[in-house]
């Protein structure tokens, strides 16, 4: 329930309000210096940019291994492009994907072997981990029962072979072979959609030199930039000139069929749109009304604040009013999932305004200690987290749907725990270093702490709501707890790979272009990217909650919950900054996309794929997956920010449904 959060810039907005308010009330001190937001694109290079893929030295042909009953392999030729400082060029790099039974079942192993020193990089290995997880789920196998390896014939790095690597893993699992005269370029998304990449004209020329006859490219990229000619070129026309067929593809399903000649199994989506029914509908409507009741409480308490202070927070309050009104409207339309989303955002926005207003009032009338004491007394989040963990450990989890519901609740708790740690650290830093801050900086830090505490409290209640709404559904019995833990650990590795992928693809290039350290750039993204903040909070929260939950199979829900949220959040960030080239205004809001067609295709496929997986799960689909789907359908018609959030919600609906279906098969 974390993806939308349309008031994600509240901490920045509150800081600006507090600075104005302090000046109006006679406060002094030097104005805090705020870092500039990252540019929407790295600055244009003075020469062809260093690409994400590096060149392959001349390779020595190696005979393909002979498949045996205990081992299978598939060869893929990854495309790269590079620059020598004068011109860009492309080529192919041989990769052998091998799959064999794990020497010790239950321990996922993914190996990367190189024929050159430092022949691969972090982005390449991250793509490999994602390919293994996605291929295993598409094929319905337990990845911990296999050992996967990628043997690279030269030097290569970058995310652009993600879909091709997924095809390679699937081909090895299924015993198919990839066409020797074909290749492709494109990243891979959590639902199997193909993400855009760069340098395609140079890759196509390299493919032609290697004798390829078919090259697949991401949908929406028929036109791509040629760094040598410094213009956009038509890739289909370029391929025709070079004797290559160039085809756009949007999914791994299309790519697999074109590259192997075989079709992947794919369920038909339900004939009608999935929606909450019966008990789950009634429960979610009741929860939406609970959040509206909280909104009214915070809103009424806000009216008691001094009018001179209150007026500075009215924009945030008006936004909470709008969200509450929308929630009421959605209830009358029968869209209780969307109503629930709007209602909790309304309550959270009103609570932030109330906390911030009261802190400022206490600071002006008393002192900083009074503000800190009020904040800490108002937020008892840690005890709420501990109580809910105790409740989850006593729940009678009977079905696969129950298992996935607990996973989803733990995803909220991990984020909440991480946010509490961040807020506590902010407050403790203020107390221990009070002499180093100006008054403006002190209030700004308090506003951030209030924002984090409010979010944390909201996530704890969301986790409780998830349990109240969704437990008690489904038919399939829970699978072996160890198998559940194995899958949770596999997803954890994929989430960590995704995080490393985002760091290498986005964070480090921004740091280099802005002249900042990696840590400074991370902190900048915490401020402007709610999804990044949530992903990192989940990671930090996991480490703390491990000690409370325990180890072994008992920890499966926590590990899986953290991993599924971190995986989806970082995937959304990669799509935003890398695949879709989001264009941002000064406040970090999305104004449009450089690759609009790709977004349309991704949304269409994500919608269909979520419906397919919901249908595949059948009676075992968790109600929260239906909630995510309903919200996604609503958001995809909205603003550019809403459309990206819709993509994330579709992925979340699909992931929960796919896991439910997968566990149901394991339990048979």
545 pLDDT tier (thresholds 50, 70, 90): confident
**In 104-213, which ranges are E strands?**
109-114, 146-152, 182-184, 187-188, 194-195
pLDDT at 57 over 90: no
- Segment 272-292 shows an average pLDDT of 93
Contact (Cβ atoms closer than 8 angstroms) between residue 414 and residue 541: yes
pLDDT at 51 over 60: no
What token pair was written down for 278?
Answer: 């019966």
| Mean per-residue pLDDT over the chain, rounded | 82
* Torsion-angle region of 113 (φ positive above 0: left; ψ -120 to 50: alpha; else: beta): beta
Q: What is the pTM of this model?
A: 0.83
- Residue 418, Cβ density class (10 Å: 0-12 exposed, 13-18 middle, ≥19 buried): buried
Nearest to 52 by CA among 76, 75, 79: 79
- Taking the alpha carbons of 207, 93, 186, 253 in that order, is the dihedral positive or negative? positive
What pLDDT score was predicted for residue 123? 67
What are the φ and ψ backbone dihedral angles of 292, each rounded to 5 degrees?
-65, -35
What pLDDT score was predicted for residue 376? 73
pLDDT at 534 over 70: yes
Taking the alpha carbons at both ends of the chain, their separation in whole angstroms is 31
pLDDT at 452 over 70: yes
Beta bridge partners of 214: 182, 245
What are the φ and ψ backbone dihedral angles of 72, each rounded to 5 degrees?
-130, 155
Contact (Cβ atoms closer than 8 angstroms) between residue 476 and residue 664: yes
Q: Which helix (H) or strand (E) holds 77?
A: strand 72-83
Contact (Cβ atoms closer than 8 angstroms) between residue 598 and residue 251: no
Per DSSP, 47 falls in state: S
What pLDDT score was predicted for residue 663? 86
What pLDDT score was predicted for residue 178? 96
- Compute how many other C-beta atoms are within 10 angstroms of the C-beta atom of residue 571: 29
- Residue 145, Cβ density class (10 Å: 0-12 exposed, 13-18 middle, ≥19 buried): middle
Percentage of residues of the chain with pLDDT beyond 70:
86
pLDDT at 55 over 70: no
What pLDDT score was predicted for residue 33? 32
Percentage of residues of the chain with pLDDT beyond 90:
38
């Amino acid at each position: 329930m974390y993806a939308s959060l349309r008031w994600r810039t509240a901490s920045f907005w509150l800081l600006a309000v507090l600075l104005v308010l302090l000046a109006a009330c006679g406060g002094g001190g030097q104005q805090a210096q705020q870092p500039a937001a990252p540019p929407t694109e790295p600055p244009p290079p003075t020469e062809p940019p260093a690409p994400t893929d590096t060149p392959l030295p001349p390779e020595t042909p190696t005979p393909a291994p002979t498949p045996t009953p205990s081992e299978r392999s598939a060869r893929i030729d990854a495309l790269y492009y590079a620059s020598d400082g004068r011109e860009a060029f492309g080529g192919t790099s041989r990769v052998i994907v091998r799959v064999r039974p794990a020497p010790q079942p239950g321990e996922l192993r993914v190996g990367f072997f190189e024929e050159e020193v430092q022949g691969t990089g972090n982005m390449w290995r991250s793509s490999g981990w994602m390919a293994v997880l996605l291929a295993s789920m598409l094929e319905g196998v337990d990845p911990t029962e296999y050992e996967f390896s990628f043997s690279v014939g030269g030097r290569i790095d970058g995310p652009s072979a993600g879909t091709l690597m997924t095809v390679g893993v699937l081909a090895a699992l299924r015993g198919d072979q990839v066409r020797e005269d074909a290749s492709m370029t494109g990243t891979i998304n959590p639902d199997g959609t193909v993400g855009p990449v760069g340098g395609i004209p140079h890759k196509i020329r390299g493919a032609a030199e290697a004798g390829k006859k078919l090259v697949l490219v991401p949908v929406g990229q028929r036109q791509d930039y040629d760094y040598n000619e410094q213009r956009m070129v038509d890739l289909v026309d370029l391929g025709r000139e070079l004797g290559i067929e160039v085809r756009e593809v949007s999914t791994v399903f299309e790519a697999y069929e074109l590259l192997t000649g075989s079709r992947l199994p794919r369920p038909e989506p339900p004939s009608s749109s999935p929606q909450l029914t019966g008990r789950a509908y009634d429960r979610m409507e009741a929860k939406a009304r609970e959040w509206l009741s909280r909104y009214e409480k915070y809103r009424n308490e806000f009216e008691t604040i001094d009018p001179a202070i209150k007026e500075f927070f009215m924009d945030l309050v008006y936004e909470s009013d709008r969200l509450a009104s929308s929630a009421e409207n959605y209830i009358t339309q029968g869209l209780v999932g969307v109503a629930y989303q709007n209602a909790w955002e309304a309550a959270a926005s009103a609570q932030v305004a109330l906390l911030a207003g009261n802190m400022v009032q206490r600071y002006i009338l008393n002192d900083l200690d009074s503000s800190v004491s009020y904040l800490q007394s108002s937020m008892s989040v840690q005890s709420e987290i501990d109580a809910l963990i105790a409740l989850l450990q006593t729940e009678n989890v009977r079905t696969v749907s129950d298992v996935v519901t607990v996973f989803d609740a733990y995803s909220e708790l991990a984020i909440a725990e991480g946010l509490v740690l961040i807020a506590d650290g902010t407050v403790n830093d203020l107390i221990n270093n009070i002499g180093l801050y100006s008054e403006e900086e002190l209030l700004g830090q308090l506003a951030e702490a209030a924002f984090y505490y409010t979010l944390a409290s909201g996530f704890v209640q969301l986790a409780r709501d998830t349990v109240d709404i969704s437990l008690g559904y489904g038919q399939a019995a829970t699978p072996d707890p160890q198998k559940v833990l194995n899958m949770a650990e596999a997803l954890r590795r994929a989430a960590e790979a995704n995080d490393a992928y985002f760091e290498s693809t986005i964070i480090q290039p921004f740091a280099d272009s802005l002249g900042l350290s990696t840590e400074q750039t991370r902190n900048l993204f915490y401020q402007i990217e709610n999804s990044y903040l949530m992903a990192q909070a989940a990671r930090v929260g996991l480490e703390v909650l491990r000690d409370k939950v325990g180890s072994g199979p008992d920890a499966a829900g926590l590990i899986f919950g953290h991993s599924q949220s971190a995986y989806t959040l970082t995937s959304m960030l990669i799509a935003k900054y890398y695949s879709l080239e989001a264009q941002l205004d000064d406040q970090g809001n999305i104004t449009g996309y450089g690759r609009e067609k790709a977004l349309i295709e991704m949304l269409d496929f994500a919608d269909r794929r979520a419906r397919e997986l919901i249908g595949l799960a059948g009676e075992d689909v968790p109600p929260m997956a239906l909630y995510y789907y309903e919200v996604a359908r609503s958001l995809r018609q909205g603003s550019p920010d809403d459309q990206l959030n819709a993509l994330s919600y579709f992925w979340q609906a699909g992931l929960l449904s796919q896991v439910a279906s997968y566990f149901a098969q394991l339990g048979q």
